[in-house]
């Protein structure tokens, strides 16, 4: 009978220790952010696309003008009534224009992508810094970034972080 009492006491003490450990573990504060959504919505709020369009509008216009010139040269070259020497001259001009257009288009895409990536990097840094500030101010122990299958709404901090980013832009 004393063995049964000892076993019951051991089980009771073990369950109390386990309950205490679980109670301590639940005091950890978790949060989750959807980084893709933050970047997408923050870029819209910040107007990054408009900034890039304004910055590259002159190059884009020059590229369009050159495309029109290439089209006109193609039309002239296709004219059936051209003399053989004139046709060769127009074909050479068309070839040079086509090469120039391809070079400028590739240069434009490269410059645009480089600039877009710079803006994306700056935005991601701003977002990450804001998340860290938010975590410290609100005493979070762990904030996870996307990459998970499921997180309940009570863990979602994406909207709160967006609000903080909006407030920073208004200042």
Cβ atoms < 10 Å from Cβ of 161: 25
∠ CA(59), CA(62), CA(63), 5° rounding?
Answer: 85
- Look at 127 and 91; give whichever has higher pLDDT: 127
CATH of the domain at 112: 3.30.910.20
What is the chain's mean pLDDT, rounded?
83
Provide the residue range defining the domain that includes 38: 2-170
Please determine, for residue 107, whether its predicted confidence score (pLDDT) is greater than 80: yes
- Domain count for the chain, please give it: 1
Residue found under tokens 């391809």: 102
Q: Is the pTM of this model over 0.85?
A: no
Mean per-residue pLDDT, 142-146: 84
pLDDT digits (tens, 9 = 90+) for 18-67: 565 565 656 788 889 988 889 888 888 888 888 899 999 999 999 999 89
């Amino acid at each position: 009978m004393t063995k049964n009492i000892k076993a019951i006491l051991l089980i009771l003490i073990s369950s109390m220790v386990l309950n205490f450990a679980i109670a301590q573990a639940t005091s950890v504060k978790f949060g989750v952010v959807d980084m893709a959504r933050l970047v997408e919505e923050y870029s819209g709020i910040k107007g990054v696309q408009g900034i890039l369009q304004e910055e590259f509008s002159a190059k884009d216009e020059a590229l369009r003008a050159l495309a029109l010139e290439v089209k006109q040269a193609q039309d002239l070259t296709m004219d059936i009534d051209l003399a053989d020497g004139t046709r060769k001259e127009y074909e050479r001009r068309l070839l040079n224009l086509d090469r120039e257009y391809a070079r400028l288009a590739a240069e434009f895409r490269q410059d645009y992508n480089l600039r877009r990536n710079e803006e994306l990097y700056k935005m991601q840094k701003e977002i990450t810094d804001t998340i860290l500030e938010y975590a410290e101010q609100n005493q979070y122990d762990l904030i996870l970034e996307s990459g998970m299958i499921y997180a309940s709404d009570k863990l979602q901090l994406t909207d709160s972080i967006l609000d903080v980013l909006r407030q920073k832009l208004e200042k």
